[in-house]
Structure 1
Amino acid sequence: MSQRLEPVSSHAPSAVIWVGFIAMCVGMFMAILDVQVVATSLPTIQQAINIDPDQMSWIQTVYLIAEVVAIPLTGLLTRVLTMRWLFVASIGLFVISSAGCAASSDFNEVVSWRALQGFSGGTLIPAVFSAVFILFPNERQAIATTIAGVLAVLAPTVGPIIGGWLTATYSWHWLFLINIVPGIVSALIAWRSLPRQKGDFSELRHLDGLSLVMMALALTCLELGLKEAPTNGWISPYVLSLLSVSLVSGTGFASRSLQRTRPIVDLHHFRDRNFFVGSTLSFVLGIGLFGSVYLMPVFLAFIRGHNALEIGMTMLVTGITQLIAAPIAVALEKRTDPRLLSAAGFAVFAIGLGMSAFQDPRSDYDAMFWPQVVRGAAIMFCLLPPTRLALGTLPPARVPDASGLFNLMRNLGGAIGIAMIDTIIYTRSEPLGQALWDQLRAGDLAAARFVGAPEGTITGSPGNFTPDTIAALDPLVQTAASVQAINEAWLVAAVLAGCALLFLPLARPVAPPQ
């Protein structure tokens, strides 16, 4: 496999290179932001273009499926087009498809444009992270990774407030129109600033079409299966069929890829211990990062009744803390073993997730402030050091493929994490509600305080409730049971984040950049 772009390792990168890289980061930010701003306003879009409620989620699902298929193809596309033209083409398609989404008038139109938008946006994230190790020498990679990392994790945090404000102030069309000007500007700057290289179109002659179909089928069925499992059940025929097709296709794809000399995606990267450990940490970070960004709006919307703008204001704490922690992470990453920083990051991240596992139905901004601060402070230490572990010691020719796999692991972790969270909420709410009723009937005053039962409802002695009392308590108990289920989801995410520490001893020492 040929990669014609050589790293700039012998001298400091010029200001032009930095400008081109920042333009790439802006394009990546818009692609990640788009997922969240659209998620906050799905009901508005559904009503505006008269989409059936049961089809509404496909606006997001088709984007995520196309994105997860595109991510592992970034290495191949980089070799064919070069990094410069891949970014320009991807952001150009992203702008065009964003305009198409804004102009859509029915379900089929918006879903078609969203698929193109997801595919073009999916290549932007791994392209940026591979650019870190191709464009910059070791001593500049920490700063470049931080710029990319801050924007990558800031986008989901500020997404709700931007989406809510745009929808409330203007219209749902602006959820897509905001991509156009930054996209065009970043494409023009990148075209002028990034190194000019010659593409290797001979790669297309060796393209394994069957492997491509098997990979796309495996990832698509996995995403669909994870989406449907919480509501239909993990052992329902539909979900089992999807997961079975994903397993068979994925196994076939892996077998063919390992046997070919020029595979679409080089799975041999996982034989590198540091890449394996870094990718595992990326997977675990996806569970915690996507999970926390999902759980907070669920709680604030369905338990506290806040709108998208209010949710965004609450979640802004995480983003501000990330920005404050970023320069500290850069300074430490330059002089500390990435294994130690990763261990500290995931330990603190697990604590931050666990701190949210003690909410009650009245928890709001104050109760969520410190858990967000702890998580926000840890996120950069969960992103920068694992990125160096996974990609920092690889030859430049291997970085684009490896970056695609590395970022795919984070997205798959997020998809599995959200499916796990939904499963916990759907399956645990009812038994937890029944347990609360049993405690209330037994006169448990602590349970009554947690539920928020009016004074005098619980006497402190066993007994049965009148129909009027049951009617008054039922919505409170249902809400409290949902809160307990959400708390359990937070706790599971915290435990999984802590499990990341078990993999770090497998990694080889990596010298920090000098």
Structure 2
Amino acid sequence: MSAAAAPEETPSLATWLGFVLMCVGMFMAILDIQVVATSLPTIQEALGITPDAMSWIQTAYLIAEIIAIPLTGLLTRVFTLRWLFTGAVSVFTAASLGCAFSGSFHMLLAFRVLQGFFGGLLIPVVFSAVFLLFPSRLHAVATTIGGVVAVLAPTIGPVVGGFITNTWSWPWLFLINIVPGIIAALMTPSLLPKQRMDLGELEKLDLFALMLLAVSLGSLELGLKEAPKGGWLSSNCIALLVLSASCLTLLIQRLLASGDPILRIGSFQRRSFTLGCLSSFCLGIGLFGSVYLMPVFLAFARGHDAFEIGKIMLVTGVAQLVAAPLVTALDGKVDARVLTAFGFALFSIGLAASAFQPPTADYQEMFWPQVVRGVGIMFCLLPPTRIALGDLPPAEVADASGLFNLMRNLGGAIGIALIDTVIYGRVTLHAQAFRDRLMAGDTATAKAIGLAPELLRNRPRGVTEEQAIAYVRPLVEKASLALCVNEAWAMLAGVALLGFVLIPFARNKPASLSPRMMALEAAQPALRRRLDQLGPRPR
């Protein structure tokens, strides 16, 4: 079976087990981002990292990951699905061991780059496997397994990271990857179908195009990181975003001129794939944004630690698990557009419901919005995958899966930057408005921030003005943050609505090829290479 061959009509148990192990590898890669985020202060103290440099522990991982994702298609054609996953999970596991035993910031940073790059390969390769290993009648089941893993990892990440930090030491954040990584690396070569490598694809690798891709995505990630604090119109942010756009323009021109040696961007000519990617982009903004926004509110407005935050956020994960069988049963039987539109409608409602939460909101107030979001996410994840990738020939699936997953990650990066922009840019304005109303004696404002109205009218005896200000300031800051968080929730709800609006424009029934035609189209590249080797035809 070649890398682009038609899938087996009845996959063996070994194929299913190999796919599950691939999902374990993807789970490790996604979980690693979340568990490390909860323990950055602990790592900073242990290695003596300066506050300004601490964020690079995450940024280095994310930049390497986002560069690796679109390369998955090329690397799958070169090394095959089986050996690409095995190599990626092996290096990811070894890098995790290196992170655990890092004695300095620079050593940790180097291993995080390795982790991020090879972890980035583990994510799209799973969604490629859905269409390369299984026939269309099993796509819903396989996509559900991969989808649940993809969305469950960031949901339980805070509770896992908080538990490890509170119970053990920070190296265990990386050591938990070792055993499952070794098992996956050792077992998958014998479980996944055998495929033939095509090292000749490496000859097509355009190093200049690869450099343009790395610079474009890397500078975009850095620009999005810089924008909230320095401002979108700051010189650094503009320079990075202009550099990213310039490199992307050159890259597209080069790819179109050379036949897409790295990325098959020609897939965007298919309307279903393009709209599927746009819906994935909208989902990324809402999904990663909500997973980021809840800990911000619960930590700074409610004062919860990482473990408590994780327990509250488990509601979303449980809702996803409960909804998964329902989505699987409906996917393939109901128009994917209907399911996706329903999912984005639910997702938008769940996001909008959080836009009205008070500063004292906690588990009870967050329960039902999380349930609605969790159910909606599953409908937003599985059917759009079928819209985007379901009608592609096997030869295009690996590249298209990389682009599809890249759009979701880009959406997440942009969503978090927009959220930070709202929080950094508006929290001071809200705080000033609260102070002005309090100075004017507005009792409604006093109640809104949790201050007894009688304290506003009459300062207790023996309490100085400085002491009163010190008492009121945290209340004002928390109330201001809560308002900013609500505005960010409303923004995410608007993006989800945009995803809802896009869906009707997708094709109703993708024009899928028959298995025989798909196999014939997939075999064409190999036939062309064989003819080239035979030389020109005799006249």
3-state SS in 2 of match to 1:264: coil
Deviation of the 1:259 alpha carbon: 1.7
1:164 is matched with which residue? 162
Query: Match of 2:381?
Result: 383
Distance 1:46 1:67 in 2: 22
Q: Does 1:260 align with 2:258?
A: yes
Deviations 1:402-438 (A, max 9, x none): 0000000000000000000000000000111122223
- TM (norm. structure 2) is 0.92
After superposition, give the CA deviation of every residue in 1:249-270 in whole Å (9 maximum; x if it has no partner). Answer: 0111111112212420111111
The offset of 1:510, in angstroms, is 2.5
Give the conservation status (yes or no) of the 8 Å contact 1:424–1:489: yes
* Separation (CA, whole Å) in 2 of partners of 1:27 and 1:228: 31
Residue of structure 2 equivalent to 1:449: 447
Q: Matched residues in 1 for 2:237 and 2:70: separation?
A: 24
For 1:287 and 1:508, locate their aligned partners in 2 and report how far apart those are by CA, in whole Å: 24
Query: Counterparts of 1:206 and 1:367 in 2: how far apart (Å)?
Result: 55
User: Which residue in 1 is equivalent to 2:120?
Assistant: 122
Q: Tell me the alpha carbon deviations over residues 42-99 of structure 1, each in whole angstroms, 9 at most, x when there is no partner.
A: 1111111111111111000000000000000000000000000000000000000000
The CA deviation at 1:349 is 0.2
Match of 1:334 in 2: 332
What is the CA–CA distance in structure 2 between the aligned matches of 1:229 and 1:168, rounded to whole Å? Answer: 33
Query: Cα gap change, 1:242/1:262 in structure 2, threshold over 3 Å: closer, same or farther?
Result: closer
Confirm whether residue 481 of structure 1 aligns to residue 480 of structure 2: yes
> What residue is the counterpart of 1:5 in the other structure?
4
Verify the 8 A CA contact 1:457 1:469 in the aligned structure 2: no
Residues in 2 aligned to 1:361 and 1:380: alpha-carbon distance in whole angstroms: 29
Q: CA deviation at 1:207?
A: 1.0
1:230 aligned counterpart, secondary structure:
helix
Shift in Å at residue 469 of structure 1?
Answer: 4.5
Which position in structure 2 is the counterpart of 1:173? Answer: 171
Equivalence for 2:220: 222
CA distance in 2, matches of 1:24, 1:308: 28
Alpha-carbon separation, structure 1, partners of 2:81 and 2:483 = 47
The amino acid that maps onto 1:245 is L
Distance in 2, matches of 1:4 and 1:35, equals 30
- Quote the residue 2:498 is aligned against: 499
* More divergent stretch after superposition (328-337 vs 385-394): 328-337
The Cα of 1:5 is off from its aligned counterpart by: 3.3
Within the candidate set 411, 414, 418, 1:413 is matched to: 411
The corresponding residue for 2:95 is: 97
Aligned partners of 2:447 and 2:453 also within 8 Å = no
Residues 1:262 and 1:271: Cα distance change in structure 2 (over 3 Å): closer
Question: Gapped runs of 5+ residues in structure 1?
Answer: none
Question: In the aligned structure 2, how far is the partner of 1:28 from the partner of 1:471?
Answer: 47
Residue matched to 2:521: none
- How far is the alpha carbon of 1:473 from its aligned partner? 2.2
Alignment pair present for 1:307 and 2:301: no
**Letter of the aligned partner of 1:68 in structure 2?**
I
* 1:136 maps to which of 134, 137, 140: 134
- Supply the distance in 2 between the matched residues of 1:472 and 1:382 (Cα, whole angstroms): 45
What is the CA–CA distance in structure 1 between the aligned matches of 2:11 and 2:486, rounded to whole Å? 47
Checking the alignment, whether the CA contact within 8 Å between 1:5 and 1:197 is kept in structure 2 is no
Aligned to 2:453, the other structure's residue is in SS state: coil
Q: 2:519 aligns to what? A: none
SS of the residue 2:158 aligns to = helix
What's the counterpart of residue 374 of structure 1?
372
The question of whether the paired residues in 1 share the 8 Å contact of 2:152 and 2:317 is answered with: yes
Cα drift, residue 455 of structure 1: 3.4
Using the TM superposition, give the Cα deviation of residue 334 of structure 1 relative to its aligned residue in structure 2, in angstroms.
2.7
Matched, 1:14 2:45: no
Provide the C-alpha distance between the structure 2 equivalents of 1:447 and 1:281, rounded to a whole number of angstroms: 40
Q: Residues of 2 paired with 1:211 and 1:312: CA distance?
A: 41
Report the counterpart of residue 510 of structure 1 in structure 2.
509
CA RMSD of aligned residues (A): 1.8
Could you tell me how far 1:476 is from its partner in structure 2?
1.0
Q: Decide whether aligned partners of structure 1 residues 304 and 268 sit closer, same or farther in structure 2, where only a CA change above 3 A counts.
A: same
Conserved? CA contact 1:336–1:512, under 8 Å? no
**1:495 corresponds to which letter in structure 2?**
G
Distance in structure 1 (CA, Å) of the matches to 2:23 and 2:349: 30
Letter in 2 for 1:381: F
Gaps of 5+ in 2: 459-463, 513-539
Distance across 1 between alignment mates of 2:105 and 2:3: 42
- The normalised TM-score by structure 1 is 0.96
**Could you give the per-residue CA deviations for residues 368-427 of structure 1, whole angstroms, max 9, x where no partner exists?**
111111101111100001100000010000000000000000000000000000000000
Q: Decide which structure has the larger Cα Rg and report it.
A: 2
- d(CA) in 1 for partners of 2:370, 2:309: 13
Equivalent residues of 2:3, 2:81 under 8 A apart: no
- Secondary structure of the residue aligned to 1:495 is helix
Which residue of structure 2 lines up, in the alignment, with residue 41 of structure 1? Answer: 39
Match of 1:233 in 2: 231
Whether contact under 8 Å (1:337, 1:511) holds in the other structure is no
Q: CA deviation at 1:228?
A: 1.1
Question: Who is 2:535 aligned against?
Answer: none
- Give distance in 1, aligned partners of 2:232 and 2:4: 45
Worse-matched range after superposition: 241-250 or 447-456 = 447-456
Q: For residue 476 of structure 1, what is the amino acid of its counterpart?
A: L
Query: Cα distance, 1:505 vs. partner?
Result: 2.1
Q: Distance in 2 between matches of 1:328 and 1:455?
A: 50
CA contact (8 A) 2:39 2:165 kept: yes
User: 1:188: Cα distance to partner?
Assistant: 1.8
Counterpart of 2:393 in structure 1: which amino acid? P
The structure-2 alpha-carbon separation of the partners of 1:222 and 1:262, relative to structure 1 and needing over 3 Å to count, comes to closer
**Distance apart, 1:466 and its partner CA:** 6.3
Structure 1 CA distance for aligned equivalents of residues 59 and 467 of structure 2? 43
Is the contact made by 2:154 and 2:291 (CA closer than 8 Å) also made in structure 1? yes
The 2-side partners of 1:482 and 1:238 are apart by 26
Residue 206 of structure 1, aligned match among 184, 192, 204:
204
Matched-pair contact (CA < 8 Å) for 2:159–2:306: yes
Equivalent residue letter for 1:96: A
User: Which residue of structure 1 lines up, in the alignment, with residue 288 of structure 2?
Assistant: 290
Q: Is this contact kept in 2: 1:72–1:265, CA < 8 A?
A: yes
Equivalent residue number for residue 23 of structure 1: 21
Count, aligned residues: 508
The percentage of aligned residue pairs carrying the same residue is: 57
- Distance in 2 of aligned mates of 1:306 and 1:427: 24
Higher deviation after alignment, 410-419 or 501-510: 501-510
What CA deviation, in whole Å up to 9, does each residue of 1:342-371 have, x standing for no partner?
Answer: 100001001101111112221111111111
1: distance between equivalents of 2:437 and 2:266? 55
Q: Tell me, in whole angstroms, the C-alpha distance in 2 between the residues paired with 1:426 and 1:478.
A: 12
Q: Using the TM superposition, give the Cα deviation of residue 501 of structure 1 relative to its aligned residue in structure 2, in angstroms.
A: 1.7
Q: Does 2:323 match 1:325?
A: yes
Secondary structure at the counterpart of residue 455 of structure 2: coil
- Equivalent pair of 2:272/2:510 in contact (CA under 8 Å): no
1:4 deviates by 3.5
